[in-house]
Each structure stands twice: as structure tokens, then as C-alpha cells.
């Protein structure tokens, strides 16, 4: 129930949902464009998104830091080429502090529902605190991987030991000497398996599908390198550009020309041979689908951990979970004290569980009945002034999501500047533009390696709803300018006076804008 005194009467230019890389980057670029009347709504008590939530042991990024960081904020003392979770989170906090974003953030403010008021051209956004925020633009920066996916396994609720998901790690739970069961072999599980195996008495890894795991060329970044990069910033650009080009080449293999992936398959095969001596275990760890169909993983610890005497790889399907263990379909009961779910995320739900209502009360979940889609992954017809960062079909299998976010941020920033220049108007992407874009995108996706028959989290209702089907530089070109011609312009100055008021208050601290 929303109380009247919780309604923020002064409409803002924008409300951003989320304070991960997307939200932070968007806020920085709005401020740099002179737009300060916006709020960042954060459900948690700290900034950071996925890099705040995923604190499991070994959590790290498999994209090198010079590329997995903002192009405009490169001067950072990364200790390693591939950074761990705590350093990435420290980088995010550094950006928030340096660009003065904290006054914009409202913590403990989970968005429950947002309604587009066509009369006034405003989004009415309700938070878990019972607050209502009015804003011309609603920018979602909630990521694709923020809601844990809990497996539908019979009896899971009966388990009497400790159970948690990898993104909700229980650091107070001591694994020493315990019999630990791990379900899942994705990017998260392969990172935490080794630290868990070092601590636990016994580990049983329940593998449904074997991943391709390649060595990760990680190393320390020396003090000399940091000094050199500060003295000669173009060198930094060179490193970033080189890393970008190498990763983009991988895209050629995933998207169009499979032979490009052959050297990666050889590197995987050598990695497996060198680390796993037991032929039976090697056979278990050999994937039965083309490399790249599921995400290619990079890690130096996983296979070595699987070769430890206290680790067992169980490939039998899980039949059920009981009070004290996991039963596989062959009837064997594996006694377990702690069950860790590395089972991934509900990635196809995008903005769920938020209820988003666009023009004439239309629900986003209804518009996405056949699977999520958007124009450029950013806008959806019937939902004016709703802009998504890392929305449908903007995930990658080969490059940095931060690069994609920067493309989207540029596009959305231009849209917001356009909105401010035209008080009272709203931009609604034309349905035929959205349909044409998605028809051609889905055609392109049919030729990618992701369509070659494996099961991955990229698909929903038979459609690839998560991945971008082209090169990242193509996406950058498409999003370089806000293409107003693709949009229907709604409204006629009905909110002109409101807009003028909002501008008057734009330099005031947020709190004073609350009625
Ligand atoms: P994921 O890739 O979706 O992996 C989930 C795992 O759980 C899969 O191995 C899956 O098996 C298994 N699983 C799910 N339900 C199961 C069931 N009922 N029974 C048995 N096994 C089950 O999830 P994730 O590892 O958390 O990674 C998700 C994404 O996060 C990655 O693809 C990546 O984009 C991102 N990530 C990135 C990094 C990084 O370094 N940048 C690190 C971690 C995560 P199947 O394969 O058979 O479905």
C-alpha cells in the first residue's frame, strides 16, 4: 500500500534500476551530459550487482580487466590481468566515488512495479519501501544473471543438511571435513570447485553436461607495468585494443566460420590430457557437443581439482534428494552434509519479477509471452521511454559485456537528451521496426554455434533470447546514434510545465525533491 506522503511528486528525468556495471556507467554518462535529476534504485544495501552478489570462493572474471572495465576509466591498480570478484567490486565502488554517484542511490529500494502514465508521459515506479518515483525515462540495469535458478529436483526441500546457491554463498558455513555435493558444471561451479575441494573432506560433483574448460592465461600485473601505463596512456589503449581484437576473433568462430574454433578445441584437449591422467575420468569430462555451443570456460584449477582423491565426478542423473543425500538414477545414494547449487540463473525472465505496464496498461510479461525481445535489446514497442541495459539478445559468448553496456549507454543517453529537448514527448519504438530487427537477428542466430543442438541458458521457448548474433563492433555501430526515425513520438507538451519544474530542481539533492 503506497502512502500519499511516499509519492515523490517532482518528476525526475530518469530512474535507473540497479547499481551494477550498467547502472553505474549510465549514471556517469548522464551526469557528464549535465543531467543530474535522476535516481538509482538499488534493492540491496550496497552497490555492485552481480559482482556484489557472487562472492563464492574463486569468483573471478574470465575476461581480462583492461577490457572488463569502462573504456573511460582505465587507470586502476588491477593486481592481476584477470581480476577476482573483490577487485572488480572495488573498481565499481571507485567509479561510484570518483563520479559522485552516491547521492543518487537509494538503497533497500527494490522496484516492484512500474506503470507508464500516457497522459503525463511519466513512469510511475513503486518500490518495496512503498515509495513512488515519477520519472520520464525508466532505465533498467538489472542484468541477465541476478535471480538464482533453483533446480526442480524431487525432494530437494527435504534435505536436512546445509544447502545454498553459488550466488548466495554462506560464508559462515565451515566446509572443513564435510561431505559436499556440488550440482552444476557451469562458469560458477568450475571456479569454486577447487577451493571447496581443498577444504572439504569429500566432494561429489554431479555433472549433467561436461563443459569445455581451457587454461586461463592469468598473471600478476607488475608495479612497473602500472607505472608505464600511467606514464604512457596510449599503451593502455593498445593493450585493451589487442585483447578486444583477440576476443572478437573468437566471435568469428561462434557466429560464422567454425574452423576458427579448432585451435581452442586443441588447447582444451591438451589441457585435459595434461591435467587428467585417468582415461575413465577423461572420458567423463569430454563434452559431446561442438565447442562454443555452451559458454567456453577458462580456468586453471578445475581439472586439477577433479583429479584429487577426495573428488568424485558423478555423471548418473539425479533421481531425487533425500534428508541426508542425493540418489542417482542407478539407485546409488550419495551421502552429503552440504549441497551447493551451481545451477545458474533465471536468465530468460529479464525484468521479472517486476511488473511493468506500458501503454494502455499492457503488461511486459504478456508482450513477451513467446520469449523476450526488444529493438537493439534496449526498447520494446508499447513501452515508451523504457530503456533496458543488457536486455534481450545482448549477451555474448566471446567478449566483454561492459563493452556492450557502453554501446547501450551511449544510445540511451542520446535518447534522454532528446527527451529533455522535447518536453512532454515520449519515444515508443515502432512495432514494425522491432519486428524487422528481431526477424533478421533470429535468422543470424540460426547460423551460430549456439543453434547446434546443445542445451543452454540462452534459449527460451525454442528461441535464443539472450545472445547477440553479430560482432560487438556491429552492435556499437547500430547504437552509436539514437535513431529517432525508428520511434513514434507521443505526447504534445502535456508535461511541459512539469518538465520545466524538474529542470529547476535538477541541481538539488534528491531528498529535497521528495514531497
Ligand atoms: P550455468 O552456466 O547456467 O550452469 C548451470 C549448471 O547447473 C549447468 O552445468 C547445468 O547443467 C547444471 N544444472 C542445472 N540444473 C540442473 C539439474 N536439475 N540437475 C543437474 N544439473 C543441473 O550457470 P553458472 O555457472 O552460474 O553461469 C551462468 C553464467 O554466468 C555464465 O554462463 C556466464 O555468463 C556468467 N558467469 C561468468 C563468469 C565469468 O568468469 N565471467 C563466472 C561465473 C558466471 P547442464 O549444463 O546440463 O544444463
Same domain, 364 and 458: yes
The pLDDT of residue 8:
60
Task: Among 285, 311, 341, identify where a domain stops.
Answer: 341
For ligand 1, pick from 55, 149, 208 the residue to mutate: most ligand atoms within 8 Å of CB: 208
- Nearest of 90, 24, 89, 84 to residue 52 by alpha carbon: 89
Same domain, 337 and 361: no
The dihedral through the CA atoms of 160, 161, 167, 171 has a sign that is positive
Ligand 1 centroid from CA 146, angstroms: 13
Nearest CA to 377 out of 397, 359, 350 is that of 350
| Domain annotation covers residue 67 | yes
Residue 206 forms beta bridges with which residues? Answer: 183, 314
Of all protein residues, whose CA lies closest to atom 28 belonging to ligand 1? 344
Claim to verify: residue 296 and residue 184 sit in the same structural domain: yes
> Domain check: are 336 and 465 in the same one?
no
pLDDT reported for residue 495: 40
Judge whether 474 lies within some domain.
Answer: yes
Tell me the pLDDT of the chain (515 aa) as tens digits.
444 455 566 899 999 999 999 999 999 999 999 999 999 999 999 999 999 999 999 999 999 999 999 999 999 999 999 999 999 999 999 999 999 999 999 999 999 999 999 999 999 999 999 999 999 999 999 999 999 999 999 999 999 999 999 999 999 999 999 999 999 999 999 999 999 999 999 999 999 999 999 999 999 999 999 999 999 999 999 999 999 999 999 999 999 999 999 999 999 999 999 999 999 999 999 999 999 999 999 999 999 999 999 999 999 999 999 999 999 999 999 999 999 999 999 999 999 999 999 999 999 999 999 999 999 999 999 999 999 999 999 999 999 999 999 999 999 999 999 999 999 999 999 999 999 999 999 999 999 999 998 999 999 999 999 999 999 999 999 999 999 999 999 996 534 433 333 333 332 322 222 22
Q: Is the CB of 153 within 6 Å of ligand 1?
A: yes
Q: Which of 323, 341, 359 is the last residue of a domain?
A: 341
pLDDT of residue 371: 96
* 294 CA → ligand 1 middle, Å: 9
Q: How far apart are CA 288 and CA 296, in angstroms?
A: 14
Measured from the CB, is residue 67 less than 6 Å from ligand 1? no
Q: Are residues 170 and 67 in the same domain?
A: no
Contacts with 333 (C-beta within 8 Å, 6 or more apart), sequence order: 322, 325, 326, 327
Q: For residue 52, give the CATH number of its domain.
A: 3.50.50.60
Q: Please say whether the beta carbons of 383 and 116 come within 8 A.
A: yes
Ligand 1 site, residue 457, Cβ cutoff 6 A? yes
Residue 441 lies in a domain: yes
**119 exposure class (CB count in 10 Å sphere: 0-12, 13-18, 19+):** exposed
Domain count, the chain: 2
Contact in structure between 251 and 472 (CB atoms under 8 Å) = yes
Termini Cα distance of the chain: 17
Q: Which of 242, 240, 249 is nearest to 70 (CA)?
A: 240
Is residue 175 in a domain? yes
Task: Kindly report the protein residue whose alpha carbon is nearest to atom 35 of ligand 1.
Answer: 187
The verdict on the CB of residue 398 being under 6 Å from ligand 1 is: no
> Are residue 113 and residue 173 in the same domain, yes or no?
no
Task: Kindly report the length of the chain.
Answer: 515
Is the same domain home to 76 and 56? Answer: yes
Q: Residue 10: its pLDDT value, please?
A: 84
CB 189 within 8 A of CB 342: yes
313 CA to centre of own chain:
29
Domain range for 312 is 156-217+243-341
Same domain, residue pair 258 and 115: no
Please check whether residues 475 and 366 belong to one and the same domain: yes
Burial class (CB in 10 A: 0-12, 13-18, 19+), 432: exposed
Whether 143 is in the pocket of ligand 1, judged by its Cβ within 6 Å, is no
For ligand 1, is residue 57 a contact (CB within 6 Å)? Answer: no
| Residues 354 and 305 both lie in one domain | no
Residue minimizing CA distance to atom 20 of ligand 1:
208
- Distance, in Å, from the CA atom of 417 to the CA atom of 466, rounded to the nearest integer, reads 28
**What is the best residue among 87, 151, 184 to mutate for testing ligand 1's pocket, by most ligand atoms within 8 Å of CB?**
184
Q: How far is the CA of 152 from the centre of ligand 1 (A)?
A: 15
Beta strand pairing call for 333-335 and 311-314? unpaired
b/e per residue, 70-89, with b = 16+ CB within 10 A? beeebebebeebbbbbebbb
Nearest alpha carbon to residue 15 among 143, 129, 139, 141? 139
One domain for residues 168 and 302: yes
Task: From the CA of 166, give the closest atom in ligand 1.
Answer: 26
User: In angstroms, rounded to a whole number, what is the distance separating the alpha carbons of residues 450 and 428?
Assistant: 31
| Under 8 Å between Cβ of 473 and 406 | no
Cα separation of 474 and 85, whole Å?
29
Residue whose Cα lies nearest atom 39 of ligand 1: it is 61
The pLDDT assigned to 483 comes to 97
C-alpha cell at 125: 515506479
Regarding whether 208 and 139 lie in a shared domain, the answer is no
Span from the CA of 322 to the centroid of ligand 1 (angstroms): 23
The phi and psi torsions of 357 (rounded to 5 degrees) equal: -115, 125
Amino acid at each position: 500500500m503506497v502512502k500519499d506522503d511516499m509519492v515523490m511528486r517532482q518528476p525526475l528525468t530518469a530512474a535507473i534500476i540497479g547499481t551494477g556495471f550498467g547502472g553505474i556507467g549510465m549514471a556517469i554518462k548522464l551526469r557528464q551530459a549535465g543531467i543530474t535529476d535522476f535516481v538509482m534504485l538499488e534493492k540491496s544495501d550496497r552497490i555492485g550487482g552481480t559482482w556484489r552478489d557472487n562472492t563464492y570462493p574463486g569468483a573471478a572474471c574470465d575476461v581480462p580487466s583492461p577490457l572488463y572495465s569502462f573504456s573511460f576509466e582505465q587507470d586502476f591498480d588491477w593486481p592481476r590481468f584477470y581480476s577476482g570478484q573483490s577487485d572488480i567490486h572495488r573498481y565499481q565502488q571507485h567509479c561510484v566515488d570518483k563520479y559522485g554517484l552516491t547521492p543518487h542511490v537509494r538503497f533497500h529500494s527494490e522496484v516492484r512495479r512500474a506503470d507508464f502514465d500516457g497522459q503525463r508521459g511519466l513512469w510511475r515506479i513503486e518500490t518495496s519501501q512503498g515509495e513512488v518515483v515519477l520519472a520520464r525515462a525508466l532505465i533498467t540495469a538489472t542484468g541477465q544473471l541476478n535471480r538464482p535458478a533453483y533446480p526442480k529436483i524431487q525432494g530437494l526441500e527435504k534435505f536436512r543438511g546445509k544447502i545454498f546457491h553459488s550466488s548466495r554463498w554462506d560464508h559462515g558455513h565451515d566446509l572443513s571435513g564435510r561431505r559436499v555435493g556440488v550440482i552444476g558444471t557451469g562458469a560458477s561451479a568450475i571456479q569454486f570447485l577447487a577451493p571447496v575441494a581443498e577444504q572439504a573432506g569429500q566432494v561429489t560433483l554431479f555433472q549433467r553436461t561436461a563443459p569445455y574448460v581451457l587454461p586461463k592465461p592469468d598473471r600478476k600485473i607488475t608495479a612497473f607495468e602500472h607505472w608505464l601505463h600511467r606514464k604512457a596512456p596510449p599503451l593502455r589503449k593498445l593493450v585493451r585494443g589487442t585483447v578486444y581484437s583477440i576476443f572478437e576473433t573468437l566471435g568469428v568462430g561462434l557466429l560464422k566460420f567454425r574452423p576458427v574454433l579448432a585451435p581452442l578445441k586443441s588447447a582444451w584437449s591438451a589441457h585435459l590430457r595434461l591435467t587428467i591422467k585417468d582415461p575413465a575420468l577423461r572420458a567423463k569430462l569430454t563434452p559431446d557437443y561442438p565447442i562454443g555451443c555452451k559458454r567456453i570456460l577458462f580456468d586453471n584449477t578445475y581439472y586439477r581439482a577433479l583429479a584429487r582423491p577426495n573428488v568424485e565426478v558423478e555423471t548418473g542423473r539425479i533421481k531425487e534428494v533425500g534428508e541426508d543425500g542425493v540418489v542417482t538414477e542407478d539407485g546409488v545414494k550419495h551421502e552429503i552434509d552440504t549441497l551447493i547449487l551451481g545451477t545458474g540463473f533465471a536468465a530468460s525472465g529479464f525484468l521479472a519479477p517486476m511488473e511493468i505496464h506500458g501503454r494502455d496498461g499492457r503488461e511486459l510479461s504478456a508482450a513477451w509471452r513467446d520469449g523476450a525481445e526488444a529493438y537493439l535489446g534496449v526498447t520494446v514497442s508499447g513501452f515508451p521511454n523504457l530503456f533496458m541495459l543488457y536486455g534481450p539478445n545482448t549477451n555474448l559468448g566471446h567478449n566483454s559485456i561492459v563493452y556492450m553496456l557502453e554501446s547501450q549507454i551511449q544510445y540511451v543517453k542520446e535518447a534522454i537528451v532528446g527527451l529533455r529537448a522535447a518536453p512532454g514527448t515520449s519515444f515508443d519504438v515502432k512495432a514494425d521496426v522491432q519486428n524487422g530487427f528481431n526477424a533478421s537477428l533470429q535468422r543470424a542466430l540460426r547460423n551460430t554455434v549456439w543453434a547446434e543442438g546443445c542445451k543452454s541458458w540462452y534459449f527460451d521457448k525454442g528461441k535464443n533470447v539472450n545472445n547477440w548474433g553479430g560482432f560487438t563492433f556491429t552492435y556499437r555501430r547500430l547504437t552509436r546514434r539514437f535513431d529517432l526515425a525508428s520511434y513514434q513520438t507521443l505526447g504534445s507538451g502535456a508535461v511541459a510545465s512539469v518538465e520545466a519544474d524538474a529542470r529547476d530542481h535538477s541541481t538539488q539533492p534528491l531528498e529535497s525533491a521528495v514531497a
